[in-house]
C-alpha cells in the first residue's frame, strides 16, 4: 500500500532502535524497516539500497547511517540519491541515538527530496542538494509584483522577476530568496508582532517563471501522477469524494486531483466552499469552477462568524473560527452516503501535520481523510497550478504564503501590512 515509510539501516540492532522510535512517534503509520546485514562499505550500502528502494512503493524512503559509516567527505548531514535520502544521525551508530534523535533524522530524510534543488540558471526541483537541512522548511515561489510589495512595505529594492524562496518557520519566521544560480538575494523576516524587515544579501539574476515551469515539467507531472495513484488507491470504494475548497493553492490542486480520480472511478465529486464573509480566496473559487468545470457547493457561515467576532477575535490559543468552518463542512458531509475527505495538508506546514499519517480519520468530521499533497513542496504546488493553467490568487504574487481569512490569528506582520497598508489596493 502506498503511503508507507520505508527506512533502511546498517544492522539489526540499528533496526530495533528505529522500530522503537517509530512505534512511539509514528504509531498510526504503515512503515517498514530493513537492514543491509551489517555491511559497512558506503558504496556497497548505497548500491544495495538502490535495489531495495526500487522495489519499494513507499512515498518516503530513508537510509539512516551513523558517523562510522557516513562518508567523511560529505559536506552535509543529508544527501539525495535518486528519489530517496541518506541521513547521518549524528552518533557513531544509529542504535546510539536517542529515539527523538532518530525521529528527527527520519523527518529530515523525508524532507530531503522536496528541499533538494539544482541551480542551473533556473532552479531544478528534486535534484542536486538540499537548499537547507531543516525539515520545517518549505520551498516557495516569489514572482511578479512581489518586488513591489517588498519595496512598499520595507523600502528595500528588489529586481522584478521570479525567485525560489526557502521559508523557515520559527520565532520570527523568515525566508531567503535565491536567484536562478542559487545566489541568496534577499532575507525577509516576518514576526507575528512588530514590523517586517527585509535585507539584501547580494545581487542576483531572477529567472523567468514560464521557463521554471517548462524546465520542471517532468518533475511536476510526476508529482501529479504519483498523487493521482495514491488518491485512486485510497478513495476507491467510497461513494463521494469531498474536497473543501478555499481558493488557496493546496485546495485548488486537490480539487484538480479529486475531479480526475472521481471521473475515472465513477464517484461523486463534492466540492465545498465555506464562506465566512472574511475569506481571501472567494474570487479564485469562482474561477476554479469555470476552469475545472466543477460546481462548488457554498455554505454561508458568515452570520455565525460575525457573532463570534463580536464576542472575541480568534487568537492562537482560541481558534474558535476553525469550529465554525468545520460545522459548515459537516452540514454537507452529514447528508452524504459514504464520503471520503481530500485535504491538501503538507509535511512542510507543521510538525504536527508531518507526524500525522497521509490517510487517517478526521476526528472533527468523523470521516476518513486523505492528504494527496503531503510530500509536496509549496513550489511544486504552485508550479503544478501554472502547468495546468489553473487560477492562482494574486495574493501569493503579492507576498502571502498561505490564504485564510483576513482576521486569521496566524497572519504575520508582513501579511497584515499587505492587507492593511494599502499594498493590495490595485488588485
The enclosing H or E element of 85 equals strand 84-88
Strands (DSSP E) found in 103-262: 116-119, 123-125, 129-130, 138-142, 163-168, 174-178, 184-189, 197-200, 240-244
Closest alpha carbon to 138 in 280, 371, 350: 350
Same domain, 194 and 259: no
3-state secondary structure at position 56: coil
Same domain, 255 and 350: yes
Last residue of a domain, one of 118, 153, 186: 118
Same domain, 173 and 221: no
| Residue range(s) defining the domain that contains residue 349 | 216-392
* 207 strand-pairing partners: 162
124 found inside a domain: no
Residue 242 belongs to domain with CATH number: 3.40.50.620
Distances (CA, A) of 390 to 143, 256, 387, 393: 16, 9, 8, 10
Pairing of strands 116-119, 123-125: antiparallel
126 found inside a domain: no
3-state secondary structure at position 419: helix
Euclidean distance between CA atoms 232 and 261, whole angstroms: 6
Residue 143 exposed, middle or buried by CB count within 10 Å (0-12, 13-18, 19+): buried
What is the predicted pLDDT for the residue at 38?
Answer: 94
Kindly tell me the sign of the dihedral angle through the C-alpha atoms of 389, 390, 396, 400: negative
- Please tell me the number of Cα atoms within 13 Å of 386 on its side-chain side: 22
Euclidean distance between CA atoms 298 and 210, whole angstroms: 33
Distances (CA, A) of 55 to 29, 110, 345, 400: 20, 18, 27, 40
Same domain, 367 and 237: yes
Distances (CA, A) of 284 to 8, 253, 288, 292, 387: 43, 12, 6, 12, 17
What is the predicted pLDDT for the residue at 426?
Answer: 42
Same domain, 283 and 386: yes
Same domain, 284 and 322: yes
What is the predicted pLDDT for the residue at 427?
Answer: 43
Number of domains in the chain: 3
284 found inside a domain: yes
Same domain, 69 and 193: no
Last residue of a domain, one of 61, 92, 118: 118
The enclosing H or E element of 320 equals helix 320-333
141 found inside a domain: yes
Residues 151 and 157 sit within 8 Å (Cβ to Cβ): yes
Residues 228 and 235 sit within 8 Å (Cβ to Cβ): no
Same domain, 244 and 386: yes
**What cell numbers appear for 73 in the block?**
567527505
374 found inside a domain: yes
Same domain, 298 and 380: yes
Same domain, 195 and 228: no
Whole-angstrom Cα Rg for the chain: 22
Same domain, 385 and 264: yes
* pLDDT-flagged residues of the chain (< 70): 1-3, 421-427
What is the predicted pLDDT for the residue at 193?
Answer: 81
List pLDDT tens digits, range 314-367: 887 888 888 889 999 999 999 999 999 999 999 998 888 899 999 999 999 999
Pairing of strands 359-362, 197-200: unpaired
What is the predicted pLDDT for the residue at 3?
Answer: 58
What is the predicted pLDDT for the residue at 424?
Answer: 52
Same domain, 306 and 226: yes
Residues 88 and 98 sit within 8 Å (Cβ to Cβ): no
125 found inside a domain: no
Amino acid at each position: 500500500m502506498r503511503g508507507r515509510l520505508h527506512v533502511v539501516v546498517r544492522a539489526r540492532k540499528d533496526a530495533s532502535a528505529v522500530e522503537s522510535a517509530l512505534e512511539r512517534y509514528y504509531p498510526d503509520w504503515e512503515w517498514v524497516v530493513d537492514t543491509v546485514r551489517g555491511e559497512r562499505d558506503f558504496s556497497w550500502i548505497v548500491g544495495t539500497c538502490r535495489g531495495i528502494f526500487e522495489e519499494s512503493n513507499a512515498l518516503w524512503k530513508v537510509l539512516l547511517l551513523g558517523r562510522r559509516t557516513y562518508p567523511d567527505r560529505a559536506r552535509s548531514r543529508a544527501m539525495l540519491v535518486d528519489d530517496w535520502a541518506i541521513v547521518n544521525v549524528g552518533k557513531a551508530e544509529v542504535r546510539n541515538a536517542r529515539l527523538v534523535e532518530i525521529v528527527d533524522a527520519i523527518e529530515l530524510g523525508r524532507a530531503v527530496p522536496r528541499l533538494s534543488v539544482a541551480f542551473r540558471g533556473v532552479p531544478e526541483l528534486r535534484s542536486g542538494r538540499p537548499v537547507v537541512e531543516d525539515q520545517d522548511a518549505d520551498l516557495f515561489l516569489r514572482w511578479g509584483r512581489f518586488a513591489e510589495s517588498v519595496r512598499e512595505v520595507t523600502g528595500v529594492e528588489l529586481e522584478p522577476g521570479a525567485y525560489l524562496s526557502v521559508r523557515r518557520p520559527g520565532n520570527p519566521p523568515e525566508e531567503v530568496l535565491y536567484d536562478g544560480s542559487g545566489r541568496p538575494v534577499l532575507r525577509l523576516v516576518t514576526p507575528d508582532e512588530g514590523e517586517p524587515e527585509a535585507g539584501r544579501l547580494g545581487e542576483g539574476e531572477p529567472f523567468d517563471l514560464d521557463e521554471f515551469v517548462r524546465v520542471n515539467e517532468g518533475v511536476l507531472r510526476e508529482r501529479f501522477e504519483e498523487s493521482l495513484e495514491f488518491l485512486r488507491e485510497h478513495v476507491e470504494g467510497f461513494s463521494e469524494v469531498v474536497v473543501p475548497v478555499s481558493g488557496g493553492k493546496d485546495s485548488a490542486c486537490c480539487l484538480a486531483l479529486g475531479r480526475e480520480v472521481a471521473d475515472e472511478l465513477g464517484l461523486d465529486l463534492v466540492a465545498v466552499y465555506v464562506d465566512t464573509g472574511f475569506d481571501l480566496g472567494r474570487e479564485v473559487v469562482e474561477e476554479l469552477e469555470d476552469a475545472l468545470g466543477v460546481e462548488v457547493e457554498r455554505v454561508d457561515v458568515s452570520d455565525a462568524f460575525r457573532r463570534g467576532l463580536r464576542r472575541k477575535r480568534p487568537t492562537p490559543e482560541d481558534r474558535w473560527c476553525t469550529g465554525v468552518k468545520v460545522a459548515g463542512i459537516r452540514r454537507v458531509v452529514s447528508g452524504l452516503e459514504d464520503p471520503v475527505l481530500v485535504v491538501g495538508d503538507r509535511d512542510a506546514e507543521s510538525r504536527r501535520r508531518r507526524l500525522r499519517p497521509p490517510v487517517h480519520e478526521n476526528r472533527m468530521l468523523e470521516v476518513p481523510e486523505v492528504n494527496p499533497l503531503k510530500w509536496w513542496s509549496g513550489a511544486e504546488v504552485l508550479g503544478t497550478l501554472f502547468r495546468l493553467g489553473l487560477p492562482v490568487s494574486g495574493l501569493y504574487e503579492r507576498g502571502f504564503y498561505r490564504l485564510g481569512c483576513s482576521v486569521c490569528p496566524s497572519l504575520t506582520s508582513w501579511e497584515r501590512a499587505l492587507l492593511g497598508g494599502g499594498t493590495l489596493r490595485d488588485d
